[in-house]
Each structure stands twice: as structure tokens, then as C-alpha cells.
A and B are shown apart, each in its own frame.
Chain A
Amino acid sequence: MSEAVREAQKKGRPVIRNVDFGDITYRGYYKQPPSAIVSILHRVSGLGLFLFLPFLLYLFQESLRSEISFAHFAGVVSHPFTKLIILGLSWAYLHHFTAGIRHLFMDNHIALDKDDSQRTARWVLVISLALTVLVALKLFGVF
């Protein structure tokens, strides 16, 4: 970060200081491009999945241990509140997955320039949200 800031000062470009959380969110002074949204959501979804690891391992354990625990697992999972949590975690997984695939392409110097990277970021949002809607429909028994 510091390198880039020093370079900018040398060339006499305007330096924006003290950009706080509110400026990039609810005050909307700085519009975030799709790539920035994908990036922060990658982080949020990763942290969320990490924090819910005990819950996921618990469900995994109940689903495998025995037929009785499986019935218990099925009971827990059929509760609407649990379904909401699972839906949230499904979104987190799907976003993290698709954004991760985008990372792998960019690591291989594919779609690195300004326009392409915004285009792929938009695709990540579209695909992950569409898949999340599918999961939601399945979870709440539409099909």
C-alpha cells in the first residue's frame, strides 16, 4: 500500500485521505466497483463459514453417526430457522466458491485488465446469487 501512495504523491495526483467505512457504504461518496464488492464478500463469506464451522461439523456428525442421530439431524435441519442459517451458509459457500474460481483464472493472468475483471466480478455475483436462489427454492420445498 505504502509504495503506491508514495508513487501517487510523486506524480502530483490527488491523494484521498481519511476514507472511512461510512464513505464507502451508506454515505455512498465512493462507489465500489463489482470487483471490490466481490472481494469484500469473499472475505465476509470466508469468515462466516469459519465462525459456523462448529455448527457444520455438528450437523455432519449427527448425519453420519447412526440412524438415530440421522433422524435427529433431519429434525434439526427441517426447522425453518435452521433452514435460514443453512441458506446463509450456502450463499457464503457459493460466493466463496465462484469468487475463488475467478481468483484462479486471474492467478493465471486471465481477465486481468480493468474491463474484463469487472465483467467477471459481475458474473461471480450473478452466478452465486442465482445458485443461492436455487438452494432456497430447494430448501423451502418449492421443488
Chain B
Amino acid sequence: MAGTPKNVGQRRLVVGAHYGVRDWLAQRVTGIVMAIFTIVLLVSFLGGQNFTYEGWAGLFARQWFKLFTLVTFLGLYYHVWVGVRDIWMDYIKPVGTRLTLMIATVIWLVGCAAWTVQILWSV
């Protein structure tokens, strides 16, 4: 049938990217958060004296810095999800393989998020 969209109904790409601006915007916002975090970390790092355990752990012992780090890392994992998903969509064509890689990526990133919480609250 002429004029029928190619990606609706049964032909819809099941591992597509929501065709929207949400992830695009999220990638930008998380990128900005990570850039700010990088600069804050570098300034506190270079502003300090020698690189010692006391100084380094003392920085992460502060509640506001813990939370700032956690928010940045959660943003990082969302950022990674968008980027890595795009890579799978561009280069991995078989739907089964692509879906498997996407699921593995999500599980892995959720695991990393939990690990990050554990690391931050160990200090």
C-alpha cells in the first residue's frame, strides 16, 4: 500500500530508540553535569597538597561531595546507555543479538550503579 509508514504496526522496530528528543536531551544534560564534576574534582585535586589517602578520602567523606559524585555517576550510566545503545543499533543488525547486547548493557550498568553506591559509602 503506497504511503504506508514502514515502521508502524508489525513492522515497528522493536529495539528502536523511541524516536524522540528525550534521550538526546538526557545525553546533553548528563554530559554537562559530568563536565562540571570533572572541573570541581580537578580543582579540589590540584588545589590540595600531595596526593594522600587523608586528602582523597576526606574529599569523598563529605556528604555533599558523596551525593554530587553519585548523581554524576548515575548521569554517566544513563549517558553510557544512550551512547552504547546507539553503537549496537548502528553495527549489530540481527535483532536477537542486538537485544541481547542491550539487555546485557542495562544489567551491567545497573550493577555498576549499585557498586558505585557501595564504594562511595565505604568511606
Contacts and interface: CB of A to CB of B under 8 A. Distances in A.
B107 interface: no
Given A46-B83, A53-B112, A64-B123, A70 B56 contact: yes
A35 B61 CA distance: 42
Q: How large is the interface on B (under 10, 10 to 19, 20 to 34, 35 or more residues)?
A: 20 to 34
Interface stretch (B12-20, B30-38, B92-100): B30-38
A54 B108 CA distance: 10
A104 B123 contact: no
Contacts of A57: 112, 115-116, 119
Q: Interface size bucket, A side?
A: 20 to 34
19 contacts: A46-B80, A47-B83, A47-B87, A50-B80, A54-B112, A57-B119, A61-B122, A63-B56, A64-B56, A64-B120, A64-B123, A65-B119, A70-B53, A97-B38, A101-B35, A103-B28, A103-B31, A104-B28, A104-B31
Please name the 8 residue pairs, one residue from A and one from B, whose CB atoms are nearest each other, closest first. A70-B53, A64-B123, A61-B119, A46-B83, A67-B53, A65-B122, A100-B31, A50-B80
Interface of B: 28, 31-32, 35, 38, 53, 56-57, 60, 80, 83-84, 87, 112, 115-116, 119-120, 122-123
